[in-house]
Structure 1
Amino acid sequence: MNSDDSAEVVARRFLAAQASGDVETLRGLLAEDLTWWVPGYFGERIARAAGFRFPASGVLRSRDALLVEFLGSIQALFVAGSHQLSFEVPVAEGDKAVALIHADADLVAGGSYHNDYALLFEVRDGRIVSAREYLDTLYAIDTLVNGTAPETDVGDRAAIELLRSLLVALQDPDRVKTCPPLFHEDGAIIWPFTPLGAMPRVEGRVQIERLMEGLNRGFRSLSFVDVEIHATDDPTLAFGTGRSDAVLASGTPYRNNYVFHLRARAGRITEYREYGDPSPHVVGPMIAEIGAGG
């Protein structure tokens, strides 16, 4: 492979072109059948509120979907010339490179936007064929859609951010690796409403890891949409609401409405409770496939 076509060089060229707004260079560095994954908080309702012409979460499946629909819609929210990117590519091996990015911009609607990203690129023949983009999606929604980021103190933010991080991790195909570290060693996941015979709780990181393995077996895809998260007067407690939009491994759609309840201590989750519709016709197929409650 030509050194100019290495994953690190292509990633750096792509990010430099994005920082300068060089669309033609971006186009030349992307494969036509590119796939680009974004976490699942930008559902259809939020996308419409932001003025996007499509749901901005999930997998984008072409170069034009990324450049025209996704990046074009987002850039329209920023004051022209205000979008600044700083980046580094600390890890690159073979056809993959990891980039860490910080973005700043002024918003057309007023206020400013500041977010951090991690991108995993896969490169083939000098072009990006796939990418996974990680960011604080709830901050992006609060800022880009509502026009203001949440104002919370450090104590509140601990519980809120842990709940946000957990919901993002649950949607990640690498959830076996990303979810358990968020919990205390004796942390628990609890389903207060479960059908007879379903597991009401799992406790400890080992059991939580096994649960995540079950989710990997049971779900073809898993997203939470219409998510809202709320602080309380207790800085160790956060609540949220949302609904699942998922497909089981069998191809059966799975949808449920949830209330999320999270307790935190010293930066780790001690207890996560998930309240959903326990009706057998709703959760029965899911329990059968993953072998757990939830």
Structure 2
Amino acid sequence: MSSHDIVRAAWKAFAGHDADQISAVFTEDAEWLAPPGNATATALDRPSHMVGREMITRFLAEDFSRLFVRDVDVTFHGFHADGERVIVEETMTATLANGNHYANDYCLVFELRDGLIHRVREYMDTARGHRMVFGDAEM
């Protein structure tokens, strides 16, 4: 399976929120790095730098749905693979627990090792996220 296919399959696992399927796509020592103080980590009282398959799996399988409660949709704008690195451009929309509409653009860099995700670096508009999660959602 190509690196591109591995990351596409991982997104399907993430969307299903099944802990076993999610866990199976990460190395034991995987890391997920998001900007410090981002709205999701702050609202869920989770670290922005998650270390370990178990912590990442718990976030994707359980915690994520506490903030993004319904109508979650991801529109992919590009998958760009170069060896063991895959860059994903996307827009995620959802209804938040506070009732606000969420819409933010993301760029994620997946680094693979031995056919599994070893590191994810996540980039998004943190100010926009904070306005939707904690303040006025008007844009």
- Shorter chain as denominator, the TM-score bin is 0.7 to 0.9
Q: Does 2:92 match 1:103? A: yes
Counterpart of 2:101 in structure 1 is 112
Find the aligned partners of 1:71 and 1:120 in 2 and give their Cα distance: 20
Q: Does 2:64 match 1:74? A: yes
- What is the TM-score with the length of structure 1 in the denominator? 0.43
Q: Does 2:11 match 1:21? A: no
The C-alpha deviation readout for 1:48-104, integer Å capped at 9, x for no partner, is xx2x2333x2x2111122221466333201224x21112254311111111111111
Highest Rg: 1 or 2? Answer: 1
- What is the TM-score with the length of structure 2 in the denominator? 0.84
Q: What is the CA RMSD across the aligned residues, in angstroms?
A: 2.2
Contact map agreement 2:100 2:137 (CA 8 A) in 1: no
Find the aligned partners of 2:89 and 2:69 in 1 and give their Cα distance: 23
The C-alpha deviation readout for 1:153-209, integer Å capped at 9, x for no partner, is xxxxxxxxxxxxxxxxxxxxxxxxxxxxxxxxxxxxxxxxxxxxxxxxxxxxxxxxx
Q: Which runs of 5+ in 1 are unaligned?
A: 152-294
Where 1:144 maps in the other structure, the secondary structure is helix
% same residue: 28
Counterpart of 1:33 in structure 2 is 29
Q: Which structure shows the bigger proportion of residues in strand conformation?
A: 2
Find the aligned partners of 2:67 and 2:77 in 1 and give their Cα distance: 25
- Trace 1:113-128 onto structure 2 (pairs within 5 A): 113-128=102-117
The C-alpha deviation readout for 1:223-245, integer Å capped at 9, x for no partner, is xxxxxxxxxxxxxxxxxxxxxxx
Relative contact order: is structure 1 or structure 2 higher (C-alpha 8 Å, sep ≥ 6)? 2
What amino acid does structure 2 have at the position aligned with 1:63?
R
Find the aligned partners of 1:33 and 1:115 in 2 and give their Cα distance: 28
Provide the aligned length of Structure 1 versus Structure 2: 138
Q: Which runs of 5+ in 2 are unaligned?
A: none
Contact map agreement 1:7 1:122 (CA 8 A) in 2: no
Q: 1:144 to 1:53 in 2, by over 3 A?
A: same
Give 1:9 shift: 0.9
